Amino acid sequence: MDKERNVWLMTQQRMENAMDTLGLKPGIKKYLREPRKTIEVSVRVQMDDGEIDVFKGYRVQHNSDRGPAKGGLRFSPTVTLDDVKALAMLMSLKTAVVDIPFGGAKGGITVNPKELSVRELEALSRQYILELSPNIGIDTDIPAPDVGTNPQIMAWMTDAYSIQKGHFVPGIVTGKPLEVGGSQVRDEATSVGVVSTIISALKHMDMDDIEPRVAVQGFGNAGFHCARILHDMGFRIVAVSDTGGAIYNPEGINPKKARAHKLKSRSVCEFPKCRPIDPRELLEVDCDILIPAALENQIDEDNAPDIKARIIAEAANAPVTPEADKILDQRNIMVIPDLLCNAGGVTVSYFEWLQNRQSYYWSYREVSSKLKKIMERAFSEVYVMSQKRKVNMRNAASILAVKRVADAVSLKTTRSRCYL
């Protein structure tokens, strides 16, 4: 079974388990199992050699009963419809868990953006958003960047959509550069959210009086900022990894200096005073907090018994397999699930959308403060649900999210309760 299909099945199972726990009526369950709308487009681009090429694009709107659909756009050669459907469903749950008034969507194009020139990438981005334009809008569906896309691409898309409408529409996408209506904190939003949930977890586990040791798998945008913020707070970063390898130093690693080394040599490997280790070994190093910030399915039934961390904070999507979840649960290791842990990005996207609609922009401090409050509140609500239902944090987050979506569906379609 390939990874993408596995993520789709994992997402469906997560939804099914939560719906069964809540005892939802069959009609509501049937409604939530599938996307509300699936859009496939053929994006035509004239390449630099003058030839026409056509790229397959998707946009899936899973649910919009709590507000406009919200979710990123992924440019990757591995993009499939099942992939996009799974991520759209996850976005419905993620926005519900932090209780912001959005539904869930996801989009993508099956393309390797690294193989395109800047002009070709711009043409692809502009044409794609125009193909989607009948189905998106500031009150219906607001895209954002994801894997393979960035603020520049969002700026091109904003411009293309605005030209079509005849006026500037900054709220059509989020994740834009500050110069065209972006929000402060957007670059490190996911990491600020991850750190906020970690601090909340430490308090609940009576670990807030120690000097926590942290291992970070993945040293991209999210992983680096998590390490940087925690290091500045006095946490000890003992291991980090990237696509080139992993390093370990029990005395601590300065993430800013490690990042500078990576920019020069393209990897954290051979960073001074650190021992190189196998990337899989990083997951099992002696630490208090483990932050998987790379790919899915990194912690499985094989290495879960050897995890030494007391807290796993899922900065990545689906880094822990269902089989590993059971083992970690038995070992009383707290997993802060992706639905909650990495929801900082979509929360700041919500802030950006609000600021665009008001044409009034907040300071870095204001955005950061609002984000931390939402993440702390969301953690508390999930934790209370986990205690009430006597389930782990992942199941609690799913139950809380599905309940909020199901309540919205039920109240808009019938006066009767959506539960048995």
- 279 exposure class (CB count in 10 Å sphere: 0-12, 13-18, 19+): middle
Say how far apart CA 322 and CA 394 lie, in whole Å: 10
Please check whether residues 202 and 313 belong to one and the same domain: yes
Final residue of a domain: which of 278, 312, 341? Answer: 341
Q: Which CATH number is 328's domain given?
A: 3.40.50.720
Please check whether residues 146 and 252 belong to one and the same domain: no
pLDDT of amino acid 12: 86
- What's the domain count of the chain? 2
Interval 101-129: pLDDT, tens? 999 999 999 999 999 999 999 999 999 99
Say how far apart CA 418 and CA 410 lie, in whole Å: 6
Round the CA-based radius of gyration of the chain to a whole number and report it: 21
Token pair belonging to 13: 């199972």
Please check whether residues 250 and 316 belong to one and the same domain: yes
Final residue of a domain: which of 341, 372, 406? Answer: 341
Please check whether residues 109 and 146 belong to one and the same domain: yes
Residue 6: pLDDT band by 50, 70, 90 thresholds? low
Range of the domain at 288: 188-341
Interval 168-195: pLDDT, tens? 999 999 999 999 999 999 999 999 999 9
Say how far apart CA 113 and CA 157 lie, in whole Å: 15
For residues 27-54, average pLDDT: 96
* 416 is a domain residue: no
Please check whether residues 200 and 119 belong to one and the same domain: no
Say how far apart CA 114 and CA 99 lie, in whole Å: 36
Say how far apart CA 390 and CA 393 lie, in whole Å: 9
pLDDT of amino acid 3: 47
Q: Is the pLDDT confidence value at 4 over 80?
A: no
Cβ distance 418 to 24 under 8 Å?
yes
Please check whether residues 287 and 262 belong to one and the same domain: yes
Nearest CA to 291 out of 312, 308, 317 is that of 312
* 19 is a domain residue: no
Say how far apart CA 48 and CA 5 lie, in whole Å: 34
Q: Which CATH number is 88's domain given?
A: 3.40.50.10860
Final residue of a domain: which of 279, 311, 341? Answer: 341
AA letter at 365: R
Residue 209: pLDDT band by 50, 70, 90 thresholds? confident
Please check whether residues 122 and 202 belong to one and the same domain: no
Q: At what angle do helices 364-389 and 393-413 cross, to 10 degrees?
A: 100
For the chain, the average pLDDT equals 94
Q: Is the pLDDT confidence value at 335 over 70?
A: yes
Say how far apart CA 413 and CA 409 lie, in whole Å: 6
Nearest CA to 32 out of 44, 42, 22 is that of 22
Interval 41-58: pLDDT, tens? 999 999 999 999 999 999
Q: How many residues does the structure list for the chain?
A: 420
Residue 415: pLDDT band by 50, 70, 90 thresholds? low
Please check whether residues 164 and 85 belong to one and the same domain: yes
- Which residues are part of the catalytic machinery? 106
Please check whether residues 197 and 322 belong to one and the same domain: yes
- % of the chain at pLDDT higher than 90: 88
Residue 103: how many CA atoms within 13 Å on its side-chain side? 27
